[in-house]
Chains A and B, each alone.
Chain A
Amino acid sequence: MNDSEESWKKLVEAARKAPPEPEEAPPAGFASRVVALRDAIAAFARTLMWRRWSVLAALGCLVLFLAVLAATKCSAPARPLIEEPNSDLSGSIRP
């Protein structure tokens, strides 16, 4: 141990002889302020949770809508590009 470190040790040993600082009571109303803060945090957490569920529900609806849309498109009969001429009308035309 060098001289400087020895000096530090001496200072620490001397400082330890100081009587412990008297315990100070927490400031008045501290518990009430913390309880109020906790309520605010809990309310914020609830808001966040509802927002999260709302976003999830909206996404779920969108996925469901797209799925239904895709399903109906697949099951609908394919329409011909050019419709058959009406046979009833073709007989009534005179040359």
Chain B
Amino acid sequence: MVGERMIVGRSPKIEVVLESDTVSRQHMELVKDDAGLWWVRDLHSRNGTLVNGARVVSHRLSYGDVIQVEDYFLTYVRMPGEVAGKRPIGAGHLTMVDGPVGQLRSLRDLGAPKIDASQLSRLIALGGELLATAEADDRIRILCDLMVSGDMHGTSALAIRIDRSGVQEPALLRPPSLAPGKETPHISRTVLRTVLASGAPVVASTYDGGKALLKLSMVMEAMSAVAVPIGGDEGHLDTLYVTLPSNYGTAEWLALVSLAGELYRQAESTWVARRQAEAQAVLEEELGRARDIQTRLVPRDFHTGKLDVSFDYEACKWVGGDYVDALPLRDGRLLITVMDVCGKGLEAALIAAGLHTTVHVLVHEGLGVAALVRSLNRYLCSTLPAGVFVTMCSLVIDPETGEIEQVNCGHPPPMIATPGGALREVETFEQAPLGFLDGDAEIVVTRDRLDHGQLLALYTDGLSELLDERDHMLEVEGLAALVAAVAVDGATSSATQLATRLRARLAAYRGAAVPADDASFILVLRPSVSSPSPTLSASRSPS
């Protein structure tokens, strides 16, 4: 706006002429006050003057205000040069305008675009460039720069983030890309609202079939604008906003910008997938190391001459919540423990690792089996999340006599198999699992005996609940049959050999079914008195 005062109305003798019978001859005036601020004043017009939809007599103008005089809408905006000189626009700041933008059209509204082969070729090259560019900022710069290149004729290209709730003002994602000599444009709220509502590319033009819309020095220069969604989520929509010369608001240019936007979206999806794959690879590498550490916590098979012990541990995921262990006590007896942490995976594995350390410390302090279980229960009650528990079978066996003392907390009772094929459960008093066991409860110890030639089997329910390919469960009875079958060879085989055979039978039962639970067992063979006495040795469990 120029001068100090501009009268707007129907009269041909005033500064701004609005040709309409419903507009008064001198309808309203725009006046600059002593402070340099502009005001709108209604000049007692017949049909009134509205600002932002409300009728006014006098109103000080703010940027973005829309003055309505009958069918005419005048938007009070900062001129681009003024903006550039006073406050450079950086990423995050935009000058928004309301008001007429011409007809808004989507690809559906327009005829089939006639796209030049060279432009398609340029877009194909864009796809390759985006896929080869690792930095997200660089990719969006490449997209915007292409829009203002000689190939695409854009005067400006902006990546704008629109808040879907409307609470936040639209913001630039990066500084605008501008054609030489061009200024950052004003952004039409109407265009952004339309692309947000439709989620589809739109084009608007202030040039319509050769008849320019009302073009006032205080409104904006005629131009076309294309807005294309290029990303976002539930909270926001990222949009490519390209301004073009006014006669470029056609199907061809809408299609070209839309294709560029789509290529950008596809490239972004590819980069997201690539980043996820890289993160997954790192995670799997870490889980692989965790699995290695957990496997190292499983004792090696060993033979003492009096007892022959073998271990099997199989996590159904990378790591698991089963725990198998054997520790010599000060009195020469052997503490054998199998535990099953409720749940699977990393959470269960962390608890199992904590149990390993705790058991070893308590045994080192000389605790007996009952005191050990009581201490473990207290530790778990104070550390486990609600609803998480641990089943446990802990027994002490005397290698000289075969005498067994057992404490069982909700765990499947161990089995004893004879070389003749008979099988029975170890005498068991089943208490509540650790974590649910009352802290003051008496820890009941039961006694039994492993005779020469007999095989003792401790296991987790991943074995008894093993599913075959038809989803049939092995059950305790099925497992007992498998243990009894391998125990027949107890007189001539080591515990390691028997464990290998049991493992093979379990694998045969499972077939191609995917394991649903961690599965572990311990076999303790008390050799027959007639068997050759093996020397003390140890070997790593094959699993």
Q: Do A and B come from one complex?
A: no
Question: Residues of A at under 8 Å CB distance from B?
Answer: none
